[in-house]
Amino acid sequence: METKSIYRYVPSFSASYGTGWKVMTDNFLRLLLVVIVLAIISTPMSFFGHSEWKVDALDFDSIPFNMDDFFRIGAIGIAAAFLGLFALMYTLLLRPVFKYGAKMMFVQAARQITPDFDMLIQGFRKNYFNIVLANLLVTALVGIGLICLFIPGIIIGCRLAFTSYLVMDKGLDPIRAAEESWRLTRGHGWKIFLMGFVAFFIFIAGFICFFIGVFVADMWVKSAYATLYQSVLIEKGLYQAEPVPVTDSTQADAPAGEDQ
């Protein structure tokens, strides 16, 4: 009989990264595929060969400036505007769905549920506008906070860290998800900040390990944050963790219905 790993659901820095490592190793191939898909989705503009559009190919010192040059500049400007608009729409309307879905897959793994790849696109069928608006709200609030002396942006980012999970997991609208995240992270802000600070060095170590280590680093960090979210839910009584069954050979051989 296959026995599950025992996860330690404690909302602390060490427990989150420790259990997050177990979550990652127990679901390694599935979570690796998730971060690879996210990496591809996050860099769509690299497939457009935009590096070939070079304005400096024009000789601006040439005199006179003929009409062909004007048409070339116009074509380049239109293409750049189109690609810029596409990138903006993609960033605001498409990428958040995949990003939020991937986060929910890591939560599933933290709950010892096999991550479902359907989660990556589930947001297009369900909760789409909440995902888009929540991502826009958090981005705007953090951005405003960063402009205001930087420190408020860090605080807001830490306190709204659970917003994406709550939108996907509880189906909350953006405002309620942000408010609930603020409530749940009360007393855990410094832990979230410390986890993010350490994550930076984990990614640096991943780059040093022949770049492929970046995927492992990303898996570990995402698993740790998903574990922290799950641990806080359990701490607040918002999720009932199922006990891990412990089997005994003598009990397994006993007839059904017999008192043990």
Cβ atoms within 10 Å, residue 182: 16
- Of the candidates 228, 221, 224, 223, the one whose C-alpha atom is nearest the C-alpha of residue 202 is 221
Q: Does residue 88 lie in a domain region?
A: no
Residue 11: cis peptide before it, omega within 30 degrees of 0: no
DSSP string, 203-259: HHHHHHTTTTHHHHHHHHHHHHHHHHHHHHHHHTTSS-PPPPP---HHHHHSPTT--
Total structural domains within the chain: 1
Q: Per residue in 45-87, pLDDT tens?
A: 444 444 444 434 344 444 455 555 555 676 777 877 777 888 8
Question: Within a domain: residue 59?
Answer: no
- Of 58 and 159, the structure prediction assigns the larger pLDDT to 159
The helix or strand, by DSSP H or E, that contains position 32, with its residue range, turns out to be helix 28-41
The identity of residue 230, as a single letter, is: Q
pLDDT digits (tens, 9 = 90+) for 30-50: 999 999 999 998 876 444 444
Residues 220-258 have pLDDT tens digits of 999 999 999 999 999 999 987 654 444 443 344 444 344
CB 191 within 8 A of CB 13: yes
260 inside domain = no
Residue 128 domain-assigned? yes
The tokens for 62 are 């040439």
Consecutive H or E run containing 1? none
Residue 108: which domain range? 13-42+95-241
Residue 130 maps to a domain: yes
Banded model confidence at residue 149, pLDDT cuts 50, 70, 90: confident
Q: How far apart are CA 131 and CA 100, in angstroms?
A: 7
Q: Is 166 or 51 the better-scoring residue by pLDDT?
A: 166
Write the DSSP symbol of residue 127: S
pLDDT for residue 259: 40
Quick one: pLDDT at residue 260?
A: 36
Provide DSSP, 144-176.
Answer: HHHHTTSHHHHHHHHHTTTHHHHHHHH---HHH
Residue 171 lies in a domain: yes
Pair 209, 228: CB distance under 8 Å = no
Please indicate, yes or no, if residue 47 is contained in any of the structural domains.
no
Band of pLDDT at residue 205, cut at 50, 70 and 90: very high
For residue 55, is it within any domain? no
DSSP string, 33-80: HHHHHHHHHT-GGGGGTGGG--GGGS-TT-SS--HHHHHHHHHHHHHH
